[in-house]
Amino acid sequence: MVEVKNPFDETNAHPEIRHLSLWRTDLAYFWLINCEANIQDDMHYHENDDHIFMVLEGECTVRTPAEEHVLKQFDTVLLKSGEPYQLCNTGKERLLLLGAGNAGANGKPRTRVPKIASHLPLSDPIIA
């Protein structure tokens, strides 16, 4: 089965959804993060889920305990499982971020530490 979705159309059809699921298979999960300007997630990690993020629109600063990377359109980052990170919309417009992970690989459910995400106004890093 082939299922085609346009990330921009999906996000524009559901502007109120911050984390929009696109596809899920037995070995991978694909989603969109739709975030207004000056919002950040908390510092967190996944015990068994590598992540790849690509900026489709806007600017994203990816913070780790050791460094910070500013991503522009079509820049891509790989975050390995167990590595703490924080996503921040440091641009002046909406951030549209395509995410992919290997959630569910080997029959293990996706983890998140801390379990509940917080989306706060942009400030200094929030340490897990």
pLDDT band at 119 (very low <50, low <70, confident <90, very high): low
Whether residue 55 is predicted with pLDDT greater than 60 in this model: the reply is yes
What does the pLDDT read at residue 95? 96
Q: Flag whether 103 is in a domain.
A: yes
Percent of the chain past pLDDT 90, that is, above it, reads 55
Q: Flag whether 109 is in a domain.
A: yes
Q: How much of the chain is in helix, strand and coil states, percent to nearest 5? A: 10, 40, 50
Structural contact between residues 51 and 101, judged by C-beta atoms closer than 8 angstroms: yes
The pLDDT tens digits for 58-102 are: 999 999 999 999 999 999 999 998 999 999 999 999 999 999 998
Q: Flag whether 78 is in a domain.
A: yes
Q: Give the Cα separation of 109 and 118 in Å (integer).
A: 21
Whether residue 128 is predicted with pLDDT greater than 50 in this model: the reply is no
Q: Flag whether 126 is in a domain.
A: no
Q: Flag whether 12 is in a domain.
A: no
The number of domains in the chain is 1
Domain of residue 107: give its range.
19-121
In DSSP terms, 57 is beta-bridged to 96
Neighbours of 67 (CB within 10 A): 7
CATH code for the domain of 84: 2.60.120.10
- Give alpha helix (H) positions in 6-100: 7-13
Q: Flag whether 14 is in a domain.
A: no
The pLDDT tens digits for 91-103 are: 999 999 999 998 7
pTM for this prediction: 0.84
Nearest one of 2, 45, 18 to 119, comparing CA atoms: 18
